Amino acid sequence: MHAGTAQQKLDLFSSFPPDRQDQLLENMGQGMRMELFAAAPPGLRRRIQCANGPQAMVAQDLTEAKLFRAVYSNRQLDEVLVDFWYNHFNVYLEKGADHYLVTAYERDAIRPHVLGKFEDLLRATAQSPAMLFYLDNWESAGSQSPAGQRRQRGLNENYGRELLELHTLGVDGGYTQKDVTEVARCFTGWTIRQPQRVAEFEFNPRMHDDGDKTVLGVRIPAGGGIGDGFQVLHLLAQHPSTAHFISRKLAMRFVADDPPETLVKRMAATFLKKDGDLRAVLKTMFDSPEFWSRRAYRSKIKSPLEMVASSLRVLNAQVDFTFGLNNQLTQLGEPLYRKAEPTGYSNSGQEWLNSAGLLARMNFSVALVNNKLPGVKVDSAHSAEGVTLGSPDFQKK
C-alpha cells in the first residue's frame, strides 16, 4: 500500500474483509494511516483515529465540535462568547486528568452561562473538576485540618491567586498577597472525588481550614465549611473592580484593543446595577455609540480561530473533517484548548501581528482557495468572485 494515490490506497484497503482491515490498520505506521485518512469515509476515519490512539480521540472530538460550530452554527454570538469565556477561565487540555475533563467543563460550566449571571458562571467554574485539577486546588488542605496534618499536605494558592488576578478583580483590583492566602484558605476542601474515574466535585471537610478569615476587609467567621468559598465568590462577583475588569475585557474583545473608558464605565455600571447580568452588559456595549463608531470599525485583528472560521463561512466551504484545520490553527499560533498558562490567549489583536503569523495566514489563504486543505472543499468559482482572503476584510473585524 506504499504506492499510488490516497484513493487508490483506499480502494485496495476496502477490498480486504473487515477483520483483515483491522489487522492492517494495527500494523500500519501512523503516516500511512493519515494518508488513508484523507480519502476515507467517516466510519473508516473513526477506526483510523482509534488505531492512532483511543485517548487522542477525546481531544479530536472536542476540537472538531468547536470548529464545526464556529463554521456552521446559526448562533454565532453564543459560539464567540463560549470561546471568550473558556479563554477567560482557561484550562489546559494536556494537564493530566484535564485531557478527559475539559469536554464536560466547556459543556456544563461555560456554555450554559455565557448570557446569564456572572456569579453563576464563576461558581460553575470554581466547582468544575477541570478547574480544580488544573490549578491544583483539589489537593489544597488547611495545614491544621485533619487531612493536612495526617497527609502533610499544605495550602495551595494557585486557584486563589488566579481567581483574584484573572477571573474577577484583575491585577490592579485592590487585593493583596494576604487576600490571596485568605481566599486559598476559604477553598480548602474543594476537591475532586476520584479524579481519574468518577471526577465529580466534592467538599471534604477534613481538608478544610475552618478558622476565621478576612478577604478584602470582610470577615468570614469560623465554621463556615463549604460556605466560605461561596461567600468569597459572591463578594468577588459583586465587587466594583470585577465589574470594571470584566467590562473592559469584553469591550477589548468586541470593540478595540484599547476600548474607550467611557464605554467601560457604562458597562461596569450595568454590571453592578443588574447583578452581573452578562446579557445586559453586552446590550449596553452593542447599543453604545462607541461600538458603532468609525474608530471601532476594522480596529481589531482577528484571532486565528476567527480568521479561519470566517474564511470558511464567507466562501461557503464544505468541511468534511477538521484534522487539517486544527493543524492550521496550531501553525497560526492558536492550538485549541492548549494554552498552558491560565491567562488564556490575548484578546489584543496586536498580539497576532508578527511576520511569522502573517506569513502563516497567507499560506492558509492560498491553501484554502486552492483546495489544498485536507477535509475542506471550496468552490473555486465562488471564491474567485468573493473577497480576497489577504485583504483587510478578512483580517479585521
pLDDT digits (tens, 9 = 90+) for 46-103: 777 777 777 788 899 999 999 999 999 999 999 999 999 999 999 999 999 999 999 9
- The residue count of the chain comes to 397
**Euclidean distance between the first and final Cα of the chain, in Å?**
47
CA distances to 159, 179, 214, 232 from 209, rounded to whole Å, are 15, 15, 13, 14
- Please state, in angstroms and rounded to a whole number, the distance separating the CA atoms of residues 92 and 106: 12
Backbone region of residue 318 per phi and psi (left: phi > 0; alpha: psi in -120 to 50; beta: other values):
beta
pLDDT for residue 304 is more than 90: yes
- Please state, in angstroms and rounded to a whole number, the distance separating the CA atoms of residues 267 and 261: 10
The residues, ordered by sequence, that sit 6+ positions from 148 with a Cβ below 8 Å of its Cβ are 141, 142, 154, 188, 207, 209
Given this model, what pLDDT does residue 302 score?
A: 94
The residues, ordered by sequence, that sit 6+ positions from 360 with a Cβ below 8 Å of its Cβ are 331, 332, 333
> From the CB of residue 154, how many other CB atoms can be counted at a distance below 10 Å?
13
pLDDT digits (tens, 9 = 90+) for 280-297: 999 999 999 999 999 999
pLDDT digits (tens, 9 = 90+) for 210-262: 999 999 999 999 999 999 999 999 999 999 999 999 999 999 999 999 999 99
Q: If pLDDT is split at 50, 70 and 90, which confidence band does 2 have?
A: low
> From the CB of residue 52, how many other CB atoms can be counted at a distance below 10 Å?
17
% of the chain with per-residue pLDDT over 70: 94
- Please state, in angstroms and rounded to a whole number, the distance separating the CA atoms of residues 259 and 81: 18
- CB crowding 336-363: b at 16 or more within 10 Å, else e: bbebeebebbebbbeebeeeebeebbee
Grid coordinates belonging to 219: 470577615
Mean pLDDT score of the chain, rounded to an integer? 90
Q: If pLDDT is split at 50, 70 and 90, which confidence band does 44 have?
A: confident
Q: How many C-alpha atoms does 269 have within 13 Å on its Cβ side?
A: 8
